[in-house]
Amino acid sequence: MTTLTMAKAINAGLRKAMERDLKVILFGEDIGRLGGVFRVTEGLQKDFGEHRVLDAPLAESGIVGTAVGLAMRGYRPVLEIQFDGFVYPGFDQIVAQVAKFHRRTDGAVAMPITIRIPYGGGIGAIEHHSESPEAYFAHTSGLRVLTPADAQSAYLTIQQAVACNDPVVYFEPKRRYWDKGEVDEAISALDAGAAPDPWRARIVKAGSDVTVACYGPMVRTCLEAAEACTDISLEIIDLQSLSPIDYETLVASVVRTTRLVVVHEAALSGGIGAEIAARIGEKCFYTLEAPVTRVTGFDVPYPASRIEEHFLPDLERVIDAAERVMRY
């Protein structure tokens, strides 16, 4: 076991993917000599060369469009969008080309593209640098969406995303980049018998009273809430995959606990939590003893950094939601 930050774990996972397959190519703004603004790709250009780790122009639409061409030629491009708010110039390419090309060609042309996006708040950044756009992509058929919550899951899921023949939008919780955790680098990410299925949710803490479904940066927050909430037993589920969502694991947990709280940083309306609430309402109508409750960001543009702590869900809001559903 090795202790790594999440950023270093993603770096190690990318290194494994590049060693395994010569067709894996990385490119994005400042990812080469600089190693990216968060240093996630640090050292990879030095070790693999400028022909496999390329610095791209400041043009997200061009970055995604280039990835489409590379995928058509048999490569596995891994592109970095420098910040979450910068993805919108490339949005048309992602939803109109990347997501649809495989089906449009009746399976003849695959799109094994991984789109890495640092997302979420909590780092005191300026406007356009702290957004949660995951629902846009989870809504788009043809895309898979993954988001790791800790170093071990990051190390494995980035490799699985790169190896996937479907396009994967890979959201990296930027305020967790520096969280450290143990990583077992001996596990083969592509060995289905050894590595967890990236498209299945993980029960990261068992509990009996309330199921808490969360992902990415909120997993640590929910675990902290579970530790602080001594009178209610919370079962914490890391969704990990936002498209597809593993409803089998969620339903099984809700059947045991009879209550569900969904937590995410993104705004309330039209978020991942709304979809989960609707699905669980359909599948567990006769089991639920309380309405599905959501703990989210607010329906406002992401605020200035000096007040972002009032926008982001914290352990007190998670505990409050758990206490409310227990009162029914």
| pLDDT digits 0-9 by tens, 232-289 | 999 999 999 999 999 999 999 999 999 999 999 999 999 999 999 999 999 999 999 9
Domain hosting residue 242, numbered range: 202-326
User: What CATH number corresponds to the domain at position 252?
Assistant: 3.40.50.920
Contact 114, 63 (CB under 8 A): no
Do 236 and 144 lie in one domain? The reply is no
Helix, strand, or coil (residue 99): coil
Do 106 and 237 lie in one domain? The reply is no
Q: Omega into 244 within 30° of 0, i.e. cis?
A: yes
Catalytic residue among 51, 102, 129, 139: 129
What is the pLDDT, as a whole number, of residue 225? 97
DSSP line for 182-250: EE-TTS-TT-TTTSPPTTS-EEEE--SSEEEEE-TTHHHHHHHHHHH--SS-EEEEE--EEES--HHHH
| Residue 264 annotated as catalytic | no
Do 143 and 220 lie in one domain? The reply is no
User: What CATH number corresponds to the domain at position 146?
Assistant: 3.40.50.970
194 domain residue, yes or no:
no
What is the pLDDT, as a whole number, of residue 323? 97
**Predicted TM-score (pTM) of this structure:** 0.96
Do 167 and 298 lie in one domain? The reply is no
Helix, strand, or coil (residue 293): strand
Do 208 and 172 lie in one domain? The reply is no
Do 12 and 150 lie in one domain? The reply is yes
Do 164 and 221 lie in one domain? The reply is no
What is the pLDDT, as a whole number, of residue 193? 78
What is the pLDDT, as a whole number, of residue 132? 97
Do 207 and 131 lie in one domain? The reply is no
Do 164 and 222 lie in one domain? The reply is no
Do 211 and 174 lie in one domain? The reply is no
195 domain residue, yes or no:
no
Do 21 and 170 lie in one domain? The reply is yes
235 domain residue, yes or no:
yes
Do 178 and 212 lie in one domain? The reply is no
100 domain residue, yes or no:
yes
Number of domains in the chain: 2
What is the pLDDT, as a whole number, of residue 190? 87
The residues of the chain scoring below 70 in pLDDT are: none
196 domain residue, yes or no:
no
263 contacts: CB under 8 Å, gap ≥ 6: 212, 213, 214, 218, 221, 222, 273, 294, 295, 296, 313, 318, 321
